[in-house]
A and B are shown apart, each in its own frame.
Chain A
């Protein structure tokens, strides 16, 4: 079955256009033909599970020995850190934000005499009081970009030099988990495409927008026909298509079982019309995540997104609404996990491409900024404040907050301390420690 392969794919990567990797994919496809076994995981998409003949999942690869699970919540658009973790005692806040600062300080839920949580983060404040919330302040990276898309890419890849194209969680999947045998190991809930953080050509990923509609209309006949149709598809997208169908088919089978055995133990609610661009149904996505977790489907890395944080105008009510939305979804999610006895396994972490400008603009909003706090929530967390809140008086040359903690320090603790993965291999370096975990599983620094 050795065949001549057309490896002469003619397009050179062009720096200004996209981050596609067709050459590499071609290479991986070649692995399919020449035999996946020899190169193991390097065969990538080649090792597609057979939707028809596969009997059992392969055992999890050596390496990760714990059952911990990570849920990343993306606050897309650039979350205003100063309205999330509010400085209560800094008089310069009012000068920078005459319109936006008043109620946010007086209504904040105090964490100590210096800082308070946004008044709509009541459920998260409740978890803080129980020592289940770590707040890392002043998170960022050197020479920040103020482009959404460049900064998102930096956070997704974990590489401020913008050379890396695979996502940091995708690389984790590819190097530490047998995701080819477990298509649900990495899963994006409530999305239609693969989030950049999970992207890696060597990782199999599942994307489920809405569980209720995730299935083939027409049932098993359609499923069988499509399974037969999408096999050995030629061309540069062939393996992607085939993997997507095989993964979907596997996932549907898993969901049929899990949906039957899952009873939600919390009230998840999604308001239909929240604020502009908040099309993501965060609570529904987290409820799906809970189902996948508590029914033992083998999920490890989950990603959900809440959009609408690009608050350039009339930020006051919009951001408060978003905080409330985040809070009720996370609160229900934690409660559900706890009621199912799974909360000790799950770490919830927020991320956003940047914070916002300390000085408000004419539209009653704020422009793109830099450093901001991250929230880490769950039983594995050692509650408290970490990092260092940026000064409001010593801003950088662009009028933005200076960072104190590299975001990769947070990734490092998640990877090494929670997942037990080799963080220095995945991130390509070691960073200062931010010890926000109660009992880190390894000290890979």
Chain B
């Protein structure tokens, strides 16, 4: 199976210009497009028809998902940060089901060791770790693992500012990747004892005598059960039960001059390790937690959380919202949650159920998700066949609302319409301009871009502007800056 053959060259209008479309052309395009004309479906069609868009039946996008190639493209957009031409060809020849199998069964690929992580106290610029991760996302053979790592980074979130040790942040990224498609029970223990998390939500300084509630609360509210499924007493009681974890002991300490002759004694770790449990700081006695009373340790807290039906529903709902549609149907979420719980919280089972569900590929789900800034920028880089954009991507995220390792708060990043504001759309357009200026020599042909990147489903405006664009640079600009490309 493959896409339709390349269309003929688009006839270009009037004067050639290296600078792409002119203001006059843009104005003409704006005027030329009628009011209320629906989306145009072009899959398998020719670029010629772009000039005379076929009116759709309404103001929604016309779903192309009846075609397997469109389903494969959507699958890769939602699970793999888009695709390079080679990745797309490979997935198209495998077909949808085999591609799902490959996504689920491919093990995560470890990124190369980050040299800076050996810096005492993890005092190195966060830009280094951002770029290191983006380089791996852009080049890995297992992009789904990176997509899941980003999902968990937004879920079990930590920010480098409060953690104040970028080595711990680096370790967290490695841990989240390794556990990304495993089992929620073991994941929650790794999350609880992760050094960056111990610091971010203050469990490292909590004691049984005077518990800090921060981790206890967010473990239930944001990580597992969701609000309204536990009481304030549960927050207090599990804070007692969880107390006792501390940061791991370093191998040595190094005296480092930080600034203006000020020296600090900073920890040095030769290998990654989790937090350690100090029984002397733990709570001794019974706690009453989620309806049961008795002695309780960290594993006990996790198991009691997993015994609550709310947990599977919360995780399944969030996954559906991130991968399927902004407002998943309650019945759909329940089906996924039941599957997840029956599998003893196996992430592969959940993700397979999500990706193979009719809802995932239904016409109603088409373009109902807004690409996160990282999704958008990485997909643009893949489309342009560029792997040297990690620095630009790392810097551009903040204006769009997503700085890796620096979520806005403990609930991670919001999604969909929260990605759309006057500030973020300008930044998205500016990224396209910046990315195109980085790819000076070998810009790939854009003649296929509307169908390969936008499924051939274009608004009349996008179609019209593409048809008037004078060169590939302008066509790529319109393709990547278009509203269509912001969606997945």
How far is it, in angstroms, between the C-alpha of A237 and the C-alpha of B420 when the chains are bound? 9
**CB closest chain-A residue, reference B214:** A312
Q: Chain A residues with Cβ under 8 A from B409's Cβ?
A: 76-77, 148, 277, 307
Checking A32, A52, A150, A218 against B30 with a beta-carbon cut-off of 8 angstroms, the contacting residue is: A52
Indicate if the CB atoms of B328 and A237 lie closer than 8 Å: no
Chain B 342-387 residues near chain A, CB threshold 8 A: 364, 367-368, 370
How far is it, in angstroms, between the C-alpha of A244 and the C-alpha of B162 when the chains are bound? 32
Query: Known: A76-B409, A312-B202, A368-B217. Contact between A234 and B60, CB under 8 A?
Result: yes
Indicate if the CB atoms of A234 and B59 lie closer than 8 Å: yes
Task: Give min CB distance, B68 to chain A, whole Å.
Answer: 22
Query: Known: A234-B39, A362-B209. Contact between A221 and B425, CB under 8 A?
Result: no
Indicate if the CB atoms of B57 and A4 lie closer than 8 Å: yes
Indicate if the CB atoms of B213 and A6 lie closer than 8 Å: no
Query: Known: A14-B317, A20-B326, A279-B161. Contact between A146 and B423, CB under 8 A?
Result: no
Of A1, A147, A206, most B-chain CB atoms within 10 Å = A147
Chain B 202-235 residues near chain A, CB threshold 8 A: 202, 205-207, 209-214, 217, 221, 226-227, 232, 235
Q: Chain B residues with Cβ under 8 A from A4's Cβ?
A: 57-58
Query: Known: A33-B59, A192-B398. Contact between A208 and B212, CB under 8 A?
Result: no
How far is it, in angstroms, between the C-alpha of A16 and the C-alpha of B330 when the chains are bound? 9
Query: Known: A17-B318, A192-B400. Contact between A221 and B483, CB under 8 A?
Result: no
Indicate if the CB atoms of A248 and B370 lie closer than 8 Å: no
Indicate if the CB atoms of A228 and B423 lie closer than 8 Å: no
How far is it, in angstroms, between the C-alpha of A367 and the C-alpha of B211 when the chains are bound? 10
Task: Give min CB distance, B226 to chain A, whole Å.
Answer: 6
Question: How many A residues touch the partner, as a band?
Answer: 35 or more
Indicate if the CB atoms of B221 and A147 lie closer than 8 Å: yes
Checking B205, B429, B460 against A232 with a beta-carbon cut-off of 8 angstroms, the contacting residue is: B460
Chain B 1-31 residues near chain A, CB threshold 8 A: 19-23, 26-27, 29-30
Listed by A's residue number, 17 A-B pairs whose Cβ atoms lie within 8 Å are A6-B59, A9-B364, A16-B317, A20-B416, A77-B409, A148-B411, A183-B422, A209-B399, A210-B399, A217-B434, A225-B26, A229-B482, A232-B35, A232-B460, A238-B483, A312-B212, A361-B210
Indicate if the CB atoms of B465 and A228 lie closer than 8 Å: yes
Is A241 located at the chain interface by the 8 A CB criterion? yes
Checking A9, A206, A233 against B459 with a beta-carbon cut-off of 8 angstroms, the contacting residue is: A233
How far is it, in angstroms, between the C-alpha of A437 and the C-alpha of B416 when the chains are bound? 40
Is A428 located at the chain interface by the 8 A CB criterion? no
A6-B58, A240-B417 known; 19 new pairs, CB 8 Å cut-off, are A4-B58, A6-B60, A11-B327, A17-B333, A20-B417, A146-B217, A146-B235, A147-B221, A213-B399, A233-B483, A234-B459, A235-B59, A235-B60, A235-B483, A237-B416, A244-B422, A312-B212, A363-B212, A365-B212
Query: Known: A17-B328, A22-B326. Contact between A192 and B460, CB under 8 A?
Result: no
A 50-77 binary contact with B (CB < 8 Å = 1; else 0): 0010000000000000000000000011
Indicate if the CB atoms of A241 and B483 lie closer than 8 Å: yes
Indicate if the CB atoms of B423 and A235 lie closer than 8 Å: no
Q: Chain A interface mostly helix, strand, loop or mixed?
A: loop
Indicate if the CB atoms of A215 and B214 lie closer than 8 Å: no
Q: Chain B residues with Cβ under 8 A from A248's Cβ?
A: 422-423, 425-426
B 381-414 binary contact with A (CB < 8 Å = 1; else 0): 0000000000000000011110000101111001
Q: Chain B residues with Cβ under 8 A from A11's Cβ?
A: 325-329, 364
How far is it, in angstroms, between the C-alpha of A293 and the C-alpha of B478 when the chains are bound? 36
Indicate if the CB atoms of B483 and A52 lie closer than 8 Å: no
How far is it, in angstroms, between the C-alpha of A238 and the C-alpha of B20 when the chains are bound? 25
Chain A 230-277 residues near chain B, CB threshold 8 A: 230-238, 240-242, 244-245, 247-248, 251, 276-277
Q: Chain A residues with Cβ under 8 A from B482's Cβ?
A: 229
Query: Known: A150-B227, A216-B429. Contact between A192 and B207, CB under 8 A?
Result: no
Indicate if the CB atoms of A367 and B58 lie closer than 8 Å: no
How far is it, in angstroms, between the C-alpha of A146 and the C-alpha of B60 when the chains are bound? 40
Is B461 located at the chain interface by the 8 A CB criterion? yes
How far is it, in angstroms, between the C-alpha of A150 and the C-alpha of B56 when the chains are bound? 41
How far is it, in angstroms, between the C-alpha of A257 and the C-alpha of B345 when the chains are bound? 57
Q: Chain B residues with Cβ under 8 A from A229's Cβ?
A: 461-462, 465, 478, 481-483
**CB closest chain-B residue, reference A314:** B205
Is A27 located at the chain interface by the 8 A CB criterion? no
How far is it, in angstroms, between the C-alpha of A52 and the C-alpha of B406 when the chains are bound? 37
Q: Chain B residues with Cβ under 8 A from A251's Cβ?
A: 422
Is A434 located at the chain interface by the 8 A CB criterion? no
Task: Give min CB distance, A321 to chain B, whole Å.
Answer: 13
Task: Give min CB distance, A49 to chain B, whole Å.
Answer: 12
How far is it, in angstroms, between the C-alpha of A37 and the C-alpha of B225 when the chains are bound? 46
How far is it, in angstroms, between the C-alpha of A277 and the C-alpha of B247 when the chains are bound? 21
Q: Chain A residues with Cβ under 8 A from B418's Cβ?
A: 193-194
